[in-house]
Chains A and B, each alone.
Chain A
Amino acid sequence: MIGPSFEAVLAAAADGNELAFRALWRDLQPALLRYLNAFAPGSGEDLASETWLRVVKGLAHFSGDERAFRAWVFTVARHRAVDRWRRGTRRHDELVPLDALAHLPAPDDTAGTAVDTISGRAAVAMIATLPPDQAEVVLLRVVAGLDVAEVAAITGKRPGNVRVLTHRALRRLAEQLARQSRVGGPVV
């Protein structure tokens, strides 16, 4: 999060300031990539680029605080992903890139399964194994840093539904991690 200077940064970016745009991009791009790669592995970069293009076009029209900006950016990203999926390019997206696989721990690799050494991308890859609706709410909550109401608005669900999905996701994650620890030794 950029913090109190966000308004000034946003205004400068809308006015064409390159440094301000860099600040916005560096703040959001990692989370954006993690979110998009979870649903369209291999297309995350493309979708993120499309998202930023859209964001740049709309910068001057945006009004709101940093949270609203994050929510907007992820809303745009979600729409890009849904559009891509609807266009039928999903078969291409189902190919998981090799570099993403390299970060995933092998099932029998005790050191690799240590959660405290897991990378951000590997953690997201694990979250992505959840059912899609559960994975999405968790990623939006954790990676994008949005609250329940914002996630509900983005996903078109009711806040109560988001909470239920989140609880189920956390429970399922706990079970998956426990299973891994039994297979590959102690997780931590």
Chain B
Amino acid sequence: MFPTEMPEDPSQPMVPLDADTAERLLSGRLDPDDAPPGYADVARLLQAAAGPAEEAELSGEAAAVRAFDAAQRGRLEVPGRRGRMEHSGFRVRSWGRAAGPLGGRAPVRGRGGVRGRLVVLALAAAVAVGGVGVWTAGGGPFPRELGSPSGGPAAGGSGSGVPASQGYRPGADGAGPLRPAGPGLGPSAGAAQVTGDRPPSVPSAREPATARHGGDVTSHGGGSDHGAKPNRPARQPRPKPEKPEPKKAKEPREQAAKGPKASESRKSSD
């Protein structure tokens, strides 16, 4: 026993608590009248601490609900900057949710639903024009990791396209082993697998963006090093030198733009 735990008044007997009594005290199941000597007040104190909510404690409900609504609306909007999207961690969710009304059975939720639909239509058009053969509004090819844009029949009861949780990964916010990792909705649930706070498909989402910028489209957005370079006029194809030049830094990009056939033909010519 530490000196600080010595009873102030040695004449008053402090009955040692057994584990069961302590447990009943802590859970509020011990009536103060049945408490061991010296612990009746403790029982009352703990019951008061676990007592019903006071009015002041619920005074922030309206603000909390407003914040909740704002967060929900934010999920339906796709910010223009990729950095912000990654930071928000809602990229995949936004797509999944917003894509629902296009062909799935996801309910359109109030104002945000219409807004989300417009955003998705605009995005679908932009993506299609940009030449990224990844996704179309009509339910065209879709990355397997993202599943069906509509959520599909396997997307769960609501069909909302909510990212299938593989269960909470410990460490994301310190939940540690507390969060039992449930099976979730599986990979066919219309969304990517989730790692921690951030869907893991965010890094892979950079790939199509990079490939898109490898073509004629120049990005001015942040996050990508392409955006830092000024616009360049379209170059005329260089005449082939008789001797193969040493590889330059931008050669892979040009090859990527030309596609695998170009590189193959170049190899064969070499």
Contacts and interface: CB of A to CB of B under 8 A. Distances in A.
Nearest to B107: A15
Contacts, number: 212
Q: Interface residue tally of chain A, by bracket?
A: 35 or more
A188 B35 CA distance: 14
Given A58-B197, A142-B28, A188-B41, A21 B182 contact: no
A53 B70 CA distance: 10
Interface of A, helix, strand, loop or mixed by DSSP: helix
Given A49-B64, A118-B45, A29 B178 contact: no
B45 A153 contact: no
Contacts of B177: 153
A43 to B, nearest CB: 14
Given A63-B182, A120-B48, A170-B42, A179 B8 contact: yes
A52 B8 CA distance: 42
A44 B101 CA distance: 40
A157 B58 CA distance: 32
B197 A170 contact: no
A30 B58 contact: yes
A92 interface: no
Pick the most buried of B40, B49, B56, B179: most chain A CB atoms within 10 A of its CB.
B49
Interface residues of B, number: 72
Given A29-B57, A142-B50, A181 B41 contact: yes
A158 interface: no
A187 B45 CA distance: 11
A17 B85 CA distance: 23
A105 to B, nearest CB: 12
Interface string A30-69: 1101100000000001001100111011101111100010
Interface stretch (B19-27, B139-147, B249-257): B19-27
A120 B44 CA distance: 11
A25 B168 contact: no
B105 to A, nearest CB: 13
A14 B97 CA distance: 12
Nearest to B158: A15
7 contacts: A58-B172, A62-B179, A72-B179, A119-B48, A127-B49, A177-B41, A178-B7
Interface of A: 11, 14-16, 18, 21-22, 25-26, 29-31, 33-34, 45, 48-49, 52-54, 56-58, 60-64, 68, 71-72, 75-76, 78-79, 99, 115-116, 118-124, 126-127, 138-139, 141-143, 145, 150, 153-154, 163, 166-168, 170-175, 177-179, 181-182, 187-188
